[in-house]
Structure 1
Amino acid sequence: MCLRNIGSALLLGLLLGACTPTVQLAAPKEPININLNVKIEHEIYIKVDKELDNILDESSGLF
């Protein structure tokens, strides 16, 4: 009976030992590429007084 218990314990130990998970860390063989296709659009709104608008008029010759 004692031999049977010892045999059962050894068998159980072997079965549990075979199920241990393994973790492996390895660098990738190819570099990691990240493609960022970004389109940036912006609009600027300027509010100008009428007097200043007349000064900056195209016919004023400043620009």
Structure 2
Amino acid sequence: MPSRQLLPATLCALGLLVAAGCTPTVQVAAPSEPITINLNVKIKHEILVKVDKEIDSMLDENSELF
């Protein structure tokens, strides 16, 4: 009979060992390539704003075109 009482305790201990072995591991490593930031979007936006302002001023000067 003592072996029947040991079975739940043994299973519980085994379950804890298995759960401890499944803990996630986080590794932090530096990238192999340098980080590059592409700023083409901002430059394009500035160009579009400048052209938009020029078009507005042209239409104000030549309002009879339309």
| TM-score (ref. length: structure 1) | 0.54
Equivalent position SS for 2:39: coil
**Comparing both structures, which one devotes a greater share of its residues to helix?**
2
User: What runs of 5+ residues in structure 1 fail to find an aligned partner?
Assistant: 48-63
User: What runs of 5+ residues in structure 2 fail to find an aligned partner?
Assistant: 61-66
- How far is 1:35 from its partner? 1.7
- Percent identity of the aligned residues? 46
Structure with max Cα Rg: 1
Which structure exhibits the higher relative contact order, with contacts defined as CA atoms closer than 8 Å and separated by 6 or more residues? Answer: 1
- How far is 1:36 from its partner? 1.6
Deviations 1:3-46 (CA, angstroms, capped at 9, x unpaired):
2122101211122112211111111111111122122241354x
| TM-score (ref. length: structure 2) | 0.53
1:5 partnered with 2:8: yes
List structure 1 segments (4+ residues) > 6 angstroms apart after TM superposition: none
